[in-house]
């Protein structure tokens, strides 16, 4: 295990915490933001794809409202988020503009991940933004979220975004240089852990809680996030965000921070999840041509290759693809519900808009959401 996986990573999720962004509560640190943005612009120029998960809205709102401490009231936190989000996005937009990059604001909550339809929508828009070379800036939707649906910290949100887009690398920028053998603030003998498997149970004893007043996370949540990211094959690096050119160092494969490696590659992990962890809601009967396309060419399933639709399902649910003899060929997340699929089956992609009055996707099942039986 080495840092070559960081050098090879193409799709990155970068998470920046509140303490870094607001300089421990002193308002947005524009110089730090400019530095991170300049480094991200370099990554983009090198052909990397980057989604930025940024904390800081509540912290910035607290500063703008003149409050000295983080409130406990959910409505005051929502108010702070709505005030602070304006400044946070303005800061990123103006900084990325220096490098001729557009940015997009994406606000998510837990329901967006739990609903497969909204999951596909979020996945689709993030993929489209990256294709357009726009930098998505993701934050938890703190203005409307409640205690029951909040992620709890943006470390978890970043890991879920990494799962969502099949990221290769999750980089968590924090106010510590990584995960230590003991608390470096109190134990001078503490040593930095350079690398480990994310699933290593011995790491649990090494992660402590958050000591800051603005953030909700600590090393515990960062370790949990690394394990969540690893479920989809994404590796995680926890590293000090205040270190000069730190993203450049990570991209170069330098021995910085703590690398927590996944057990398998993103595509294999996603296929395993599709194959074994979701309930099949319906069936699509394929013609011989579609069977050949899926099994021999690894392409997406188009409506033209479907001869019959069986069962009732909604957009985003798992369906089984079978041949005329009833043998399962593949299974995947469907882009149209059963009624829509029944209306467009056997038809060309160009006909979908005419038949339904709209066309959400070209494919009935995209190849990234499809697992073909061996």
Residue-wise pLDDT for 141-193, tens only, equals 766 655 443 555 688 889 889 988 989 999 999 988 998 888 777 888 888 99
The matching CATH number, chosen from 2.60.40.420, 3.40.710.10, 3.40.1160.10, 1.20.120.160, for 4-270 is: 3.40.1160.10
pTM for the structure as a whole: 0.76
State the chain's mean pLDDT as an integer: 86
Q: What is the dihedral sign for C-alpha 243, 32, 131, 159?
A: positive
Tokens 């596909």, residue?
120
For residue 119, give both structure tokens: 């999951």
For residue 306, give both structure tokens: 């479907």
Check residues 357 and 150 and name the one with the higher pLDDT: 357
- String of b and e for 25-58 (b: at least 16 CB within 10 Å)? beebbeebbebbbbbbbebbeeebbbbbbbbbbb
CB 328 within 8 A of CB 373: yes
Domain residue ranges of the chain, discontinuous segments joined by +: 4-270, 278-372
How distant, in Å, are the alpha carbons of 56, 94, 198, 291 from that of 64?
Answer: 12, 19, 38, 59
What is the three-class DSSP state of 49? strand
Write the pLDDT tens digit of every residue in 200-243.
888 887 765 444 433 334 678 888 889 888 888 899 999 999 99
**Among the listed residues 221, 233, 238, 225, the one whose alpha carbon sits nearest the alpha carbon of residue 262:** 233
Check residues 45 and 68 and name the one with the higher pLDDT: 45
CATH 3.30.70.580: does it fit domain 278-372? no
What is the model's pLDDT at position 349? 95
What is the three-class DSSP state of 283? strand
| pLDDT of 277 above 70 | no
What is the model's pLDDT at position 12? 97
Write the pLDDT tens digit of every residue in 235-262.
999 999 999 999 999 999 999 999 999 9
């Amino acid at each position: 295990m080495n840092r070559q996986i960081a050098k090879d990573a193409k799709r990155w999720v970068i998470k920046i915490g509140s303490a870094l962004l607001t300089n421990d509560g002193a308002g947005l640190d524009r110089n730090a933001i400019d530095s991170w943005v300049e480094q991200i612009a370099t990554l983009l120029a090198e052909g990397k794809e980057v989604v930025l998960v940024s904390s800081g809205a509540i912290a910035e709102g607290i500063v703008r409202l003149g409050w000295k401490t983080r409130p406990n009231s959910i409505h005051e936190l929502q108010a702070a988020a709505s005030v602070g989000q304006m400044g946070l996005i303005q800061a990123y937009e103006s900084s990325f503009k220096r490098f001729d990059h557009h940015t997009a604001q994406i606000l998510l909550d837990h329901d967006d991940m739990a609903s497969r339809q909204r999951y596909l929508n979020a996945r689709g828009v993030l993929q489209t933004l990256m294709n357009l070379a726009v930098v998505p800036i993701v934050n938890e939707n703190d203005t409307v979220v409640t205690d029951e649906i909040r992620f709890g910290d943006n470390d978890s949100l970043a890991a879920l975004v990494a799962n969502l887009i099949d990221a290769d690398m999750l980089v968590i920028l924090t106010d510590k240089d990584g995960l230590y053998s003991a608390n470096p603030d109190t134990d001078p003998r503490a040593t930095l852990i350079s690398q480990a498997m994310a699933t290593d149970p011995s790491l649990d004893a090494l992660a402590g809680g958050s000591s800051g007043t603005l953030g909700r996370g600590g090393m515990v949540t960062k370790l949990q996030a690394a394990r969540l990211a690893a479920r989809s094959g994404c590796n995680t690096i926890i590293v000090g965000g205040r270190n000069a050119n730190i993203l450049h160092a990570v991209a170069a494969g330098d021995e910085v921070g703590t690398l927590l490696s996944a057990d398998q590659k993103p595509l294999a992990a996603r296929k395993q999840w599709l194959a074994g962890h979701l309930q099949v809601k319906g069936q699509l009967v394929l013609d011989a041509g579609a069977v050949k396309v899926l099994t021999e060419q690894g392409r997406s399933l188009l409506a033209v290759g479907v001869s019959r639709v069986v069962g009732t399902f909604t957009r985003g649910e798992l369906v089984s693809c079978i041949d005329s003899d009833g043998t399962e060929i593949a299974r995947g997340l469907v882009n149209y519900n059963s009624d829509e699929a029944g209306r467009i089956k056997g038809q060309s992609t160009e006909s979908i808009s005419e038949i339904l009055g709209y066309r959400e996707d070209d494919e009935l099942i995209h190849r990234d959401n499809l697992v073909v039986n061996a």
